[in-house]
Amino acid sequence: MSDFRLKVFYTVAQRLSFTKAAQELYLSQPAVTKHIRELEQQYQATLIDRSGSRVSLTPAGRSLLVYATRIIELYSEAAIEVSALQHQTSGTLTIGASTTFAQYILPQMLARFHSRYPDVKVNVYAENTERIEQALQDRKIGIGIIEGKTKNKALRYTPLIRDEIVLVAATRNKQARKGSLRLTELPAVPLVLREPGSGSLEVIAHALRKAGLRLSQLQAPVRMNSSEAIKSYLLQSDAMAFLSIHTVLRELERDELSVVDVKGLSIERQFHLIHPHGEPERLAGTFQQFALSYNHML
């Protein structure tokens, strides 16, 4: 038997990449390699073929994946079931969330949450990180979800999901057609950036600095303070923008916007659940359990 190992295997099987799986699981790549190797030893079978440049499942791997999937589902169901027995399942919960999360991810999450706990009323309080932390300490909200991670000692941070910030452009943009861009070409591109002081902008600046570029070297003719506004602008121009992948999922699907890969640049951050130390409020605990197992539901 082996539980976390199965989850690792499952993730690798989904992403067909050891490195991607490692990121998703907040692990190093060698750790993933090791888990897979030990699973293979346990089952005396090669589960994943990594002889070529792409990894793929062997027959034994495909067979195990069926079981792994079901087992992981059951773990998740068990957690919800037991939690439902324990926690209060009616009342009102106020969730504080950062704008991006509140607009693009939380809605679907709440839809599922509601079907599971129909008697819980939820208020959403969309604000910036600082205000959410304050509200949490004042007990104005039961739980918070923020981008990045500050180190407020009165609060506990639990990684929830990974957010990736990508460079996007209107699909008809010729450079977008190419699909990728060198880092050195970036200063030539007109960009729409968020307003100074925004958390997103800081993450972007930090990642650029690590790659050897200053924000001041970039062309930023326009600054806007809302993702929706930026997207509209892009559709009307040849500019590009750095946006959370979650904010552009719909436009990517409709093929209105496209992701432009920048070689050597990767901008990531995580959404964290935050809650005060000690026992969580009951409804907050229920929601936390739910949110953490939400990943498993895909």
Using the rule CB under 7 A, is 26 a contact of DNA?
A: yes
Partner whose footprint covers residue 85, from a copy of itself, DNA, none (CB < 5 to 8 Å by kind): a copy of itself
Using the rule CB under 8 A, is 4 a contact of a copy of itself?
A: yes
* Cβ proximity to DNA, 13 vs 141, nearer residue: 13
Using the rule CB under 8 A, is 71 a contact of a copy of itself?
A: yes
91-97/143-147 β-pairing: parallel
Using the rule CB under 8 A, is 2 a contact of a copy of itself?
A: yes
**DSSP string computed for 13-35:** HHHT-HHHHHHHTT--HHHHHHH
Positions 27 through 46 that interact with DNA (CB under 7 A): 27-31, 33-38
Partner whose footprint covers residue 27, from a copy of itself, DNA, none (CB < 5 to 8 Å by kind): DNA
Question: Cβ(129)–Cβ(137) under 8 Å?
Answer: no
Tokens of 218: 């970039």
Using the rule CB under 7 A, is 55 a contact of DNA?
A: yes
Positions 159 through 198 that interact with a copy of itself (CB under 8 A): none
**Half-sphere exposure of 49 toward its Cβ, with a 13 Å CA cutoff?**
9
Positions 45 through 64 that interact with a copy of itself (CB under 8 A): 45, 59-60, 63-64
Q: How many residues bind DNA (CB under 7 A)?
A: 24
Q: Work out the number of other CB atoms within 10 angstroms of the CB of residue 21.
A: 24
Alpha-helical (H) ranges within 120-224 are 129-137, 174-178, 199-210
Task: Please give the single-letter amino acid code of residue 38.
Answer: E
* Cβ proximity to a copy of itself, 79 vs 259, nearer residue: 79
Positions 246 through 265 that interact with DNA (CB under 7 A): 263-264
Using the rule CB under 7 A, is 268 a contact of DNA?
A: no
Partner whose footprint covers residue 17, from a copy of itself, DNA, none (CB < 5 to 8 Å by kind): DNA
* Cα–Cα distance for residue pair 263/18, rounded to 1 Å: 20
Task: Return the C-alpha torsion angle 278, 3, 292, 259, nearest 10.
Answer: 140
CA-wise closest residue to 159 among 145, 180, 139: 145
* Cα–Cα distance for residue pair 88/285, rounded to 1 Å: 9
Using CB under 8 A as the criterion, which residues of the chain lie in contact with a copy of itself when the complex forms? Answer: 1-4, 6-7, 43-45, 59-60, 63-64, 67-68, 70-72, 74-75, 77-79, 81-83, 85-87, 285, 289
Contact residues for DNA, defined by CB under 7 A? 4, 17-20, 26-31, 33-38, 50-53, 55, 263-264
